[in-house]
Structure 1
Amino acid sequence: VKIIAGQWRGRNLPFPDIKGLRPTPVRVRETVFNWLQYDVIASRCLDLYAGSGALGMEAASRGAKAVVQVEDDAQVCRQLKQNAELVSASQVKIVQQDVFRYLAGNAQMYDLVFLDPPFSKGYAVQAANWLEEKLWLANHAKIYIEVENTLKLTGLPENWKKLKHKKAGEVAYYLFERMD
């Protein structure tokens, strides 16, 4: 995974070849971070289903104050930790845990959330609702959701305003803002 911009621009970070692990494509990340350019600096960022770590590490590279990457797979977490050490990303914390178990824990407020669950599992809407119901989001937090382009995102929290939406190949991606 190549970091696009920020202090680690151009750095390639390795990730394991695991079935179902699909890094967010570069052109999608470029678009997303163009959407978020004024929201990343000094933000508290939560990267759920971190996978390759591309979204969270890109946010850290671009000036996020703190990034928590939550991932269930032990091998993937080892690589995420190695990648954070490789670039001396002291603001990045890796949590090896099921996302729903993590969200059931003690909530902390985040300004920016990346929600990129495995395809065909139906986790996106449930995780989105847990973020809202369990008080993980600051007012006006931005929430990025990446899902298969055939999925209809219905049942999201009513106070989330859709700001942006695009499709690229098999992926649909959205940016929401949590309203008061």
Structure 2
Amino acid sequence: MKRGVKPSKQPSGSIRIISGRWRGSKLPVANVQGLRPTTDRNKETLFNWLMPYVQNARCLDVFAGSGGLGFEALSRYAKHVDFIELDKAAVTNIQQNLVKLKVENELAKVITGNALQVLPGLKQQFDIIFLDPPFYQNLLPETLRLIHEHQVLAPSGIIYIECEQQAADYVVPVHWLLLKERQGGQLCARLYQN
């Protein structure tokens, strides 16, 4: 973890941690085009779904953006979170927020890069994967293929997929079990188990 990271673009807002050790903490969000942090309402629904799975889980936040889902998992005592993010300002913002929360180095790792290039090189499996790619870029099909092909999701692991309604016809491996689903407005959110 880099200490004393230089400030990036001016924050455009904040995310709030809903529950756990950092409950109520507000973290600044970098002003990055296309960044849309998961709303508190959606995050609360998701983490209600994940309640039996989060504690001591190894988590992967694939298109991390603000890092909101990974930070919420850490706050709820996930064992470790890897954040993958391409945008350097967003990466710096995640690193600054890890410092702000005094997150120990062994609890989190920030990987700067294109998720489609990073996923095949990951050396471990994850208990929970957060998959919330930028809208209208058709990233889900290839990302899901790589996660399955490279066995990134652990046996019995959980994957959360959030996408725009127009992209909700993606295909998952036949053995993934749909546990939860929520659709509304322009969003589709689903939780699967490997």
The normalised TM-score by structure 2 is 0.89
1:4-26 residue CA offsets vs partner (Å, 9 max, x unmatched) = 00000000000112220000011
Moved over 4 A (4+): none
**For residues 122 and 79 of structure 2, what CA distance do their matches in structure 1 show?**
20
Question: 32-41 vs 99-108, which deviates more?
Answer: 99-108
CA distance in 2, matches of 1:174, 1:47: 15
In structure 2, the CA distance between the partners of 1:106 and 1:29, relative to structure 1 (3 Å rule), is: closer
Matched, 1:107 2:123: yes
Paired-residue identity, %: 38
* Mapped pair 1:130 → 2:146: yes
Deviation by residue 1:74-104 (Cα, 9 ceiling, x = unmatched) = 1100000000110011212111111011112
Deviates more, 1:135-144 or 1:124-133: 124-133
SS of the counterpart of 2:84?
strand
Report whether the alignment pairs 1:87 with 2:101.
Answer: yes
CA RMSD, Structure 1 to Structure 2 (Å):
1.0
CA distance in 1 between partners of 2:27 and 2:187 (Å) = 22
Do the aligned partners of 1:107 and 1:135 also contact (CA within 8 Å) in 2? Answer: no
Give the distance between the partners of 2:29 and 2:168, measured in 1 at CA. 30
- Select the structure of larger CA radius of gyration: 2
Return the alpha-carbon distance in structure 1 between the equivalents of residues 122 and 159 of structure 2: 19
Report how far residue 153 of structure 1 moved.
2.9
| Match status 1:56 vs 2:70 | yes
Write the distance in 1 (CA, Å) between the matches of 2:46 and 2:144.
Answer: 18
On the 8 A contact 2:130/2:159 being kept in 1, the answer is: yes
Deviation at 1:125, TM superposition (A): 2.3
Unaligned runs of 5+ in 2: 1-14
